[in-house]
Structure 1
């Protein structure tokens, strides 16, 4: 698959969240899709199959109080990296990335990772 096709799929995927239109996701998700969300920390939740992934994303896209700011999309072959900031309704936010993979024009994998506020690792001396 060409990177420009992967990029187009990622742009369509993100448009669903930007426009709060869950119907835009209907034709983008493969039957064998696997998705890992960022919550609960530290490992998130794993969703397997089109229906489970689609239900999660459609609920998130329909949410009108919170929203995503898309920071960047990079596509390489059948893979893509999406950098984003999720803004909570209360004014807080979290930054993260999704590692995405497509096959035959459909999303087959989406692994979400986010920065964890308040957790710091000790610096080496």
Structure 2
């Protein structure tokens, strides 16, 4: 097997692993069940959240990230529609629409990075 084919196979395997992690991550919000977060999030995970505008807040460390995502996932009367998930190696882009309890909605995107089978970074942006 040539080096190019080995690299393609390695990149494919990494993308498949990232896709599975993102599927499980998205399920947390679709099912309003954060129980999978502890095994998906790395100890050194960092989130740059969408609020407060314009720059959002930074959350560092597994406990802070799991806590934030748990609060979002379990918020009563809300839902996320996943519009598209794009995977490239260890990176993922998730385009979503969030429906709030009051009936309003907003669109946004998360730029995610996975390393060693865990989410290590998430940067959220909303359409203004």
Normalising by the residue count of structure 1, what TM-score does the alignment of the two structures yield? Answer: 0.90
Superposition pairs of residues 60-75 of structure 1, within 5 angstroms: 60-75=72-87
Structure 1 residue ranges (4+ consecutive) displaced by more than 2 angstroms after TM superposition: none
SS in 1 for 2:77: coil
Counterpart residue number, 2:30: 18
Aligned: 1:47 with 2:87: no
Q: Secondary structure at the match of 2:39?
A: coil
Shift of 1:27: 0.4
Which digits, 9 at most, give the CA deviation of each residue in 1:46-95, with x for residues without a partner?
A: 00000100100011111131111111111100000000001011111000
Higher helix share: 2
Corresponding pairs, count: 116
Distance in 2 between the 1:51 and 1:26 partners? Answer: 9
In the alignment, which residue of structure 2 is the partner of 1:80? 92
Cα offset, 1:25, TM superposition: 1.1
TM-score normalized by the length of structure 2 = 0.88
Residue 2 (str. 1) matches residue 45 (str. 2): no
| C-alpha RMSD of matched pairs (Å) | 0.8
SS of structure 1 residue aligned to 2:53: coil
Q: Secondary structure at the match of 1:2?
A: helix
